[in-house]
Amino acid sequence: MNWCISIIVLLFLLPAVFSQPADEINYSALRMEKWEFKTNDFIDSSPKLGEGLVYIGSADGNLYAFDMITGFEKWRFKTNGAIESSPAYYNGIVYIGSNDNATYAVNASTGKLIWQFNTSGKVYSSPTVASGIVFVGSADGSLYALDAAKGTYLWSYPTEDSVYSSPAVSAGIVYVGSNDAKVYALNASNGEKLWEYETGGPVYSSPKVFNNVVYFGSYDGRVYALDALNGSQLWSFSTNDKILSSPAVERGMLWIGSTDGRLYALNAFTGERLWVFRVGEPIESSPYFSARNNMVYFGANDNKLYALDALSGALVWSFTTGNWITSSPVAYGSLIYFGSYDKRIYAVSTVSSFFIYPESGQRVNGSTVVIRGVSVADAGVKMVELQIGTDPAWHTALGTTNWTYTWPIARLPEGSYLIRVRTTDNNGEVEVEPLRQLSVVIRQEVPVDKPMYVEFPTRLRPGDHLIIHIKDAEGKPLPFVRVDIDGETYYDDNGDGVVDSDQNGNPIIVKKQEGELVFTVTKPGYFVPPENRLAITVYKEDYTIYVAGAAILVIAIIAYYIWKKRQEPGYV
């Protein structure tokens, strides 16, 4: 069980994610992996849930059982071939097919073999159990019916090619596809053929029966809807490539993937296309519809698990693994389980919490610290809670998707405090362990103020425009300072270290008529040195000298005029 490794990897990845500015992170697209387990080969098998365990096969030949919440391995059962079949759970027994040509029944609690049934071909088909009978196909071309408790042979039906499709059972009829391009409807009690329907290619897709209609995809690239009783075609829909995916049908809608790289949503009654989501790589995984979250989950060969809004097809989030995802996901509570060709089974949470402030390891002081974060949930966020230090209580944050919690620290001892966060969604599902956490250090140290220097004109006249520049000790502009002068308060709203106007853009005008104008400049954590005295001399102009000068100038002009006249001829 490798959930510890998952947490270590997550801790290495988080700095890369959270080094971005908070407003640039698309938190809605993030989901937290809760655990993973690495097997020894690729996983094509899809998980099955039962008795609080997750069952899944691997190409390493083992059937595994894990605790649903912790990912702890409970047991493994070894077969003699790769397992690409998906398990079925029924009445305390897990059933699985193997490429060693056998179908196995294993005790769901202990992993001990109960019985084994051998066929003449590999068992890619996933068993289906109904009314005490196990139905499973084989590459030998037959569909088998076995006693669920004992494994004894009841009947078989031979098709004309391998059976990779997994059977579906409804109202006493078993439906199954074959590589002979046909879908068969058989009497579940005796194997008698009721009808068959031929498509244009092998049918790997497993039928889905809903409201007396059989839905499935074919290698010919089409989705089919047949009457469950007589096999007549109701409608078909063409994609652009072969279909290996099996449909999900609910609430009048059908979802299915195609190797053309698209997931299609169709009207289940008419086959009309409602929307399409393009991945770009083949989709072999079968979609899973969650009625509680109104979401569709599926994997693709671009290595991602996708979560879409079921009605609109809008992408809600995606999760990247190390290789193809052909395994089909299944959901329980707040977790999505699926396998990948990277050899791992994953449990990814549909409910996730993230811290924005403070950063882990950050020192804090003062009377309170406002912790900020973001929470996301496929069903919507109902509540966010925090657990701090050794206090076992959970404290409710203010807000849901964007939340804050004001943490009183004035009376707390200095030291390191572990803060954990969990989210509850609108379905009442509480985020499971491991939870997001960070460590904060309280240090109630007295901060040392830094000097700031104020540049301004020391002499101004009434009505002049005052411009003040504030710089730090390195001579760089110091932003967002406060200036109080002449009974008014001004701020550096532009953050450029210049204060020259009020918040409406009106300039600072000297109102004082004469004398000394004293003002203050303040900014938390800074002080103005005593030698940088903040005082301006306001003076009025002395006009006496100008008047005297003008009089002298007038007298001089008159004298010059008289002298000039006396120089003219005939002047007496």
Give pLDDT tens digits for 144-176.
999 999 999 999 999 999 999 999 999 999 999
CATH pick for 450-538 out of 3.40.50.720, 3.40.50.740, 3.40.1260.10, 2.60.40.10 = 2.60.40.10
Residue of 204 and 4 predicted with greater confidence: 204
Quick one: CA dihedral 156, 159, 161, 162, positive or negative? negative
Sequence-distant (≥ 6) Cβ neighbours of residue 205 within 8 angstroms: 165, 177, 216, 217, 218, 243, 244, 245, 246, 247, 256
Peptide bond into 282 cis (omega under 30): no
Mean pLDDT for all residues in the chain = 92
Domain boundaries, the chain: 352-442, 450-538
Q: How many CA atoms lie within 13 A of 129 on its CB side?
A: 21
Q: What's CA 290's distance to the chain center, in Å?
A: 17
**Could you name the CATH architecture of 352-442?**
Sandwich (2.60)
Would you list the DSSP string of 488-536?
Answer: EEEE-TTSSSEE-B-TTS-B-B----SEEEE-EEE-TTEE--TTS--EE
pLDDT at res. 567: 66
Q: Is the peptide bond before 207 cis (omega within 30 degrees of 0)?
A: no
Q: What is the mean pLDDT of residues 441-449?
A: 78
Phi, psi of 4 (to 5 degrees): -60, -40
Examine the pLDDT at 195 and tell me if it is beyond 80: yes
What is the band of 293 on the pLDDT scale with cuts at 50, 70, 90? Answer: very high
Rounded to whole angstroms, the Cα distance separating 49 from 56 reads 9
Give the pLDDT band (50/70/90) at residue 544: low
Query: Which tens digit of pLDDT belongs to each residue from 90-137?
Result: 999 999 999 999 999 999 999 999 999 999 999 999 999 999 999 999
Whole-number pLDDT of residue 561: 76
Task: Name, in order, each residue with C-beta under 8 angstroms of 431's C-beta and a sequence gap of 6 or more.
Answer: 334, 349, 351, 352, 353, 422, 423, 424
* Termini Cα distance of the chain: 131
The answer to whether the 352-442 and 450-538 domains have the same CATH topology is yes
